[in-house]
């Protein structure tokens, strides 16, 4: 099996946090620091991260742990935001972004990228 993809950085340490699953039961999830940094960034941008992680857990495949699935979904979310020109941490693509584009292409989905432009104040 291929290593799971995600917003990991070289040298990232694994960090565990208790977060609610789809049943609102707090479960320990262990992910690389970069994944937690991304979720913290989303929260700082005003997103309801707790609601988001509970919702995505409803689609988790039975053979995956909550942590594995969440790491994968964080990576997909970051890739999607970057590809569609939405604001991202440091406005940069996550690790293995090219593999995300390949997955879209293989699925017959649009791989068009839109560059993020910082909003200007008038």
pTM, full prediction: 0.79
pLDDT per position as a tens digit, 46-99: 999 999 999 999 999 999 999 999 999 999 999 989 888 888 888 788 888 888
Domain boundaries, the chain: 14-106
Gyration radius of the chain over CA positions? 15
DSSP codes joined into one string, 29-78 = EEEEHHHHHHHHHHHHTT--HHHHHHHHHTT--TTS-HHHHHHHHHHHHH
> pLDDT tens digits for 96-115?
888 888 888 888 877 777 76
Topology of 14-106 in CATH?
Ribbon-helix-helix fold (1.10.3990)
């Amino acid at each position: 099996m291929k290593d799971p993809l995600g917003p990991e950085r070289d040298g990232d340490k694994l960090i565990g946090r208790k977060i609610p699953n789809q049943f609102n039961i707090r479960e320990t999830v262990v992910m690389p620091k970069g994944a937690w940094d991304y979720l913290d960034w989303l929260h700082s941008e005003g997103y309801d991260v707790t609601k988001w992680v509970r919702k995505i857990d409803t689609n988790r495949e039975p053979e995956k742990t909550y942590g594995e699935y969440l790491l994968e979904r964080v990576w997909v979310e970051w890739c999607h935001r970057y590809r569609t020109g939405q604001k991202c941490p440091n406005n940069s693509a996550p690790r293995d972004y090219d593999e995300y584009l390949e997955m879209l292409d293989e699925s017959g989905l649009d791989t068009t990228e839109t560059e993020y432009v910082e909003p200007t104040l008038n």
